[in-house]
A = this chain, B = another copy of it.
Amino acid sequence: MIATLKFTTLLLAVVVCWATQDYGYKDVEEPTLGDSQYGSLWPLPQKVQMSTVAFKLSGASFQIVDAKESSSGASCSLLQNAYRRYDEYIFPISRMQGQNKKKAFASDVSELQVWITSADSECDSYPSVTSDESCECPGMMFVFLVGALSLETFSQLVYDDEYGAKSINRTEIQDFPRFAHRGLLLDTSRHFLPIKVILANLEAMAWNKFNVFHWHIVDDHSFPYMSRTFPQLSQQGAYHPYTHVYTPSDVKMIIEFARLRGIRVVSEFDTPGHTQSWGKGQKDLLTPCYSGTSPSGSFGPVNPILNTTYDFMTMFFKEVSTVFPDAYIHLGGDEVDFSCWKSNPDIQKFMAQQGFGTDYSKLESFYIQRCVASVRHGLKVKQMISNSLKADTLIHVWKGNQQQYQAEMARVTASGYQTLLSTPWYLNRISYGQDWQAAYKADPQDFNGTDAQKKLVVGGEACLWGEFVDATNLTPRLWPRASAVGERLWSDKDVKDTNDAYSRLIQHRCRMVQRGIPAEPLFTGYCAHEYKGV
Residues of A within 8 A of B (CB): 190-192, 194, 196-197, 200, 221-222, 239-240, 243-244, 428-433, 466-473, 475-477, 513, 518-526, 528, 530-534
Contacts and interface: CB of A to CB of B under 8 A. Distances in A.
A511 B428 CA distance: 24
Given A470-B531, A477-B473, A524 B191 contact: yes
Contacts of A433: 468
Contacts of A528: 240, 243
B240 A531 contact: no
B468 A518 contact: no
Contact of A471 (B240, B243, B429, B531): B531
Contacts of A468: 432-433, 520-523
A469 B520 contact: yes
A526 B244 contact: yes
Contacts of A240: 526, 528
Contacts of A521: 191, 468-470, 472-473
22 contacts: A191-B524, A191-B525, A191-B526, A192-B526, A194-B530, A194-B532, A221-B525, A222-B526, A429-B432, A431-B432, A433-B468, A467-B524, A468-B521, A468-B523, A469-B520, A469-B521, A470-B521, A470-B526, A470-B531, A471-B530, A472-B476, A472-B534
A480 to B, nearest CB: 10
A49 B221 CA distance: 34
A524 B191 CA distance: 6
Contacts of A192: 526, 530
A432 B428 CA distance: 8
A451 to B, nearest CB: 37
Which of A519, A522, A530, A532 has the most chain B CB within a 10 Å cutoff? A530
Contacts of A239: 525-526
Nearest to A224: B526
Given A477-B473, A513-B472, A518-B472, A200 B534 contact: yes
Nearest to A470: B521
Contacts of A530: 192, 194, 243-244, 470-471
A533 to B, nearest CB: 7
A476 B471 CA distance: 10
A326 B44 CA distance: 52
A531 B431 CA distance: 25
Contacts of A431: 430-432
Contacts of A429: 432
A431 B430 CA distance: 6
Nearest to A468: B521
Given A221-B524, A430-B431, A432-B429, A194 B476 contact: no
B432 A520 contact: no
A217 to B, nearest CB: 15
Contact of A473 (B222, B466, B470, B518): B518
A534 B430 contact: no
B531 A472 contact: yes
A524 B190 CA distance: 5
A203 to B, nearest CB: 12
Nearest to A244: B526
Contacts of A466: 524
A518 B470 CA distance: 10
A222 B488 CA distance: 33
B472 A520 contact: yes
A66 to B, nearest CB: 34
A473 B520 contact: yes
A428 B429 CA distance: 16
A275 to B, nearest CB: 15
Contacts of A469: 520-521
A335 to B, nearest CB: 15
Nearest to A529: B243
Contacts of A475: 534
Nearest to A521: B470
A239 B527 CA distance: 9
A437 to B, nearest CB: 13
A134 to B, nearest CB: 34
